[in-house]
């Protein structure tokens, strides 16, 4: 099993548990260059809000999209957009990534901006 398969296996277990709870989830995906966050409806068929460092407005303000500062900015943006969509509470789906570094920075920024999980 390679690193990718192991991460996806961990992600699958988390997603099954969140699906049982029927909660809106905050999904994080990180690549070397960018970080992405989405708020997905409990049914899993609609994206209620999204934010990423690949957006034009964010790319112009940040020097690098693959660091903790960029993740903090995306955490703030996703929390604002979630509130605008009427979402207050979410389940954090880290997609099998360790809760460390950029993933942790995004989560803490979202919590500080008022998102509950």
Q: Which long-range contacts does 13-22 make (Cβ < 8 Å, 24+ apart)?
A: 14/93, 14/94, 14/95, 14/96, 15/93, 18/91, 18/93, 19/44, 21/91
Whether the pLDDT of residue 27 is over 90: the answer is yes
Q: Quote the percentage of the chain above a pLDDT of 90.
A: 96
Q: Which residue has the tokens 């660091």?
A: 67
> Kind and range of the H or E element at 112?
helix 102-112
Predicted structure pTM score: 0.91
Mean pLDDT of the chain: 95
Give the pLDDT of residue 36: 98
Q: pLDDT value at position 32?
A: 95
Cα–Cα distance for residue pair 7/115, rounded to 1 Å: 25
On the question of pLDDT at 1 being above 90, the answer is no
* pLDDT higher than threshold 90 for residue 7: yes
């Amino acid at each position: 099993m390679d690193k990718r398969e192991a991460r996806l296996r961990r992600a699958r277990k988390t997603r099954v548990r969140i699906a049982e709870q029927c909660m809106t989830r905050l999904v994080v995906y990180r690549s070397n260059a960018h970080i992405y966050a989405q708020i997905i409806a409990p049914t899993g068929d609609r994206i209620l809000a999204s934010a990423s460092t690949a957006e034009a407005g964010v790319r112009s303000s940040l020097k690098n999209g693959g660091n903790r500062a960029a993740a903090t900015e995306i955490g703030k943006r996703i929390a604002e957009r979630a509130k605008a969509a009427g979402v207050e509470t979410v389940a954090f789906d880290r997609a099998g990534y360790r809760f460390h570094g950029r993933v942790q920075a995004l989560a803490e920024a979202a919590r500080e901006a008022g998102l509950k999980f």
